Amino acid sequence: MAQINKKNIFLHSLSSFDTNEEVNIILSPELYWVRVFNLPLESSKQVLNVIPSLFEEFIDIANKIFYVKKLSKNRYIAFAYDESTLISTIQNAGLSFENINKIYFSQIEFLDVINSMDTPYIKIDDCLFSLVDDVLVKIPKNIKISRFNNIDIQAVKLSKDSISINATSKYINNKTAIFFSIILATLSFFFLIKTFVHYHIVEEYETKTSQIKNTGNSSLSSLQLKSIIKRYDRTFLEQVKIRGLFEYVLDIKKYFMVQIISISYENKTLQLRLSNNSSDKGLGNKIQKFIDKKYDKSTIKSYEKYFLVEIKL
């Protein structure tokens, strides 16, 4: 909900304000990057670990901060922004950091408003915007749109998805920023693999097996003990197979220079979409032969812009 006694303002690269009121800022899409992902992960926190590596194919992730919102099961929207850019834009707009309550993304705040209108085009502060594949984008001024709706920024009911910025970060030594940038840059699909294999299961397996073998007061029979140990054995082996499968998928990306668009794993079946931007018409068959070397239960379907691959364990 919009904050009482707090003014909503829309911030873009040419904004200018003359106010001493406390404000909520809604960011123009030109001030951040946004992507929608289908990922077989359970929470936004897990997705946040892999998002930098998924963004680095499109932008330089150095000095970027990321935010993730869960849309539905396995579907997430992710944002990347440069805090120093936001600070400069706020300062150039004549705003005081002391008067800023919260900061929001227009992608989230305007979505319901646009969907309720009879045209996909909206106008705010002489800037036109539209939804393109569910992503809010700014329309260049040289493109003339005759039919659009004006947004009443004060009537927008704000969500709980807000961010804050450190106004002093612009003046802090860059060592900290460089340190975290290196960490983000080295993140890869290793985190995605680690998430799927649930490494803690291996640790649990070893701990419980040791406890079962060493217990002196247990009333369990030998057959019961063996049954429990075998159950953990099976769980461990299954996770090892899943890990091997995902490592093999990463080899596909590396050997054939394709991008992984989306990936999911359910009911012992891995499904992924691979980009199909190559001029090699036989690329699909080559990928299929590569998969068949290790997994005989697999299919690959070719579409205009991607390959749909399914591999069963």
Sequence ranges of the domains in the chain: 7-186, 190-312
- What pLDDT, on a 0 to 100 scale, did the predictor assign at position 34? 92
Q: Of the given ranges (117-121, 269-273, 279-283), which has the lowest mean pLDDT?
A: 117-121
* Position 231, amino acid: R
Highest mean predicted confidence (pLDDT) among 67-71, 188-192, 256-260, 301-305: 67-71
Q: Which fold has domain 7-186?
A: Nucleotidyltransferase; domain 5 (3.30.420)
- CA–CA separation, 164 vs 127, rounded Å? 24
- pLDDT over threshold 60, residue 206: no
- What pLDDT, on a 0 to 100 scale, did the predictor assign at position 176? 52
- pLDDT over threshold 90, residue 178: no
- What pLDDT, on a 0 to 100 scale, did the predictor assign at position 11? 94
pLDDT band at 136; cut points 50, 70, 90: confident
pLDDT band at 43; cut points 50, 70, 90: confident
Which residues does 181 contact at the CB level (< 8 Å), separation at least 6? 61, 62, 63
Report whether 64 contacts 82 (CB < 8 A). yes
What is the 8-class DSSP label of residue 2? P
- What pLDDT, on a 0 to 100 scale, did the predictor assign at position 267? 81
Q: Average pLDDT in the 125-153 region?
A: 82
Q: Would you say the pTM of this structure is higher than 0.75?
A: no
- What pLDDT, on a 0 to 100 scale, did the predictor assign at position 42? 83
Which residues does 184 contact at the CB level (< 8 Å), separation at least 6? 52, 61, 62, 64
